[in-house]
Amino acid sequence: MEATSITSELLARWSADYRADDRRQLATLALAKHDVNEVAFVSAGAQAMRQKFSLEIKTLEVTNQMNSGRCWLFAATNVVREAIARELNLEKFELSQSYLAFWDKFERANYFLESILETADLPTSDRTVSFILSTGVHDGGQWDMFVNIVRKYGLVPKDVYDETYQSSHTNSMNAALNRSLTVTAIRLRAMVAAGESAEAIKAVKDEALGRVYGFLCSCYGEPPRAFDFEYVDKDGIYHIEKGLTPRAFAARYADDMLGRTVSIINAPTKDKPFHKTYTIRLLGNVVGGNDVRHLNLAMDEFKAAIIAQLRAGKVVWFGSDVGKFGERKLGIWDDGCFNLPLLTGLPMEMSKADGLDYGYAAMNHAMVITGVNLEDGKPTRWKIENSWGDERGEKGYYVCSDSWFDEYVYQAAVEREYLGELAACCDAEPTVLEPWDPMGTLAR
């Protein structure tokens, strides 16, 4: 099709159309001093998003990831801590997200350098190399990456390894780390190109990792090798378990759950048939750890597994796109709460598959599902535990409509038994997707 330019005749016609359209004139008045989403907000829709649910699990107070992208770690530890709190009869309890973030950062630095070496024979203009370099080491992650860190390094309570300024304000730390890793990548690629020995290359990489370890210790503090687990239960009784290692603590309180839990996704794109498993090339954190693996399910199957787990009294980690149709002060995600076509006059209809294929929508935040409202067995809205503190929503708890869930929820971590016969599909050999696949965006 031949390219065409905008002509003065077309501009004149469009100008006349705009001036004659009362709706456009009204929108012009409203948008002069207000945000687009505020003007498009539908209060009647918001009133339907009540924080009342037919199936609801009582959970602990919300957490706060502050100015960091550690949502996946906060959501994962929030799931695990509920099981620990039930077992130990605790009213308040939090696991250390900083401990996991430290080891994730350190392992991710090694993963990055190994990826650089794996692709060292390709030019920097190659899409894969460019992707590795542009992604670097950041805060995001996936459920399976959480499992990898816990398996290797364990868990500790938050009062054993608390937050620092850097752990909760990560931009500058990440920028410094990624600049240094890029410098090392330049040197390693030059060594490969010059034909230097594997021993020499490893020595340079190990020296760089040693510096990374020291820098991370400056940012977080050095992680504990052992600790005493002290707690007071709801009955006011003091307990102590002395000399625990982080791995022993994780084995005692989390191993069974992690071993039973798998990742399911709803990605209705042509390249991902349902009931198949998928992994993503060069997406991970621990070299030698488990690959990120997803089982793709139809939405009704996806929801059924989540609801089955909720019925069993267990909350659910999930990933979604929170940048779409959200009113954060009220704590609502609902496409019915915004009438953008009426306000803008622009076409807005898009399928979930097209949104993924065309890069419009993708996972960017992980949270925890703690309840659902069911009418005649069908969900109408979902209760969400976020990790943005307690000042928004209902003390930090949010709600999303089922229609928003359909369009913008992509992943959940559920225990195998709640998949029923579909659990067998998890064991199939996965199809390998490209590093930039939208099912990997939560880790970037």
- Among 322, 277, 326, 323, smallest CA distance to 297 is for 277
On whether the CB atoms of residues 356 and 269 are closer than 8 A, the answer is yes
CB 435 within 8 A of CB 281: yes
Residue pair 127/221 in contact (Cβ under 8 Å)? The answer is no
Tokens linked to 255 = 């191993």
- CA-based radius of gyration for the chain: 24
Residues in the chain: 444
**Out of 78, 266, 296, 386, which one is annotated catalytic?**
386
Residue of 296, 365, 373, 400 with catalytic role:
365
Return d(Cα 336, Cα 89) in angstroms, integer.
40
Q: Which residues of 228-261 are buried (b: 16+ CB within 10 A; e: fewer)?
A: ebebeeeeeeeeeeeebebbebbbbbbeebbeeb
Beta strands in 222-313 (DSSP E): 227-232, 238-244, 261-265, 277-280, 293-296
Is residue 373 among the annotated active site residues? no
Cα–Cα nearest to 399, from 333, 329, 341: 333
d(CA 109, CA 397): 34
* 377 torsion bin: left (phi>0), alpha (psi -120 to 50), beta (else): left
Q: What are the CA-CA distances from residue 218 to residues 103, 108, 162, 174, 215 (Å)?
A: 14, 17, 14, 13, 5
367, 318 contact by CB (below 8 A):
yes
386 is known as an active-site residue: yes
Q: What share of the chain is helix, strand, coil (3-state, %, to 5)?
A: 45, 20, 35
**What is the C-alpha separation between 39 and 156, in angstroms, rounded?**
46
The active-site residue, picked from 71, 219, 337, 400, is: 71
How far is Cα of residue 258 from the mean position of the Cα atoms in its chain?
A: 17
- The two beta strands, 397-401 and 55-56, are unpaired
In sequence order, the 6+-apart residues with CB closer than 8 A to the CB of 35 are: none
Active-site residue list? 71, 365, 386
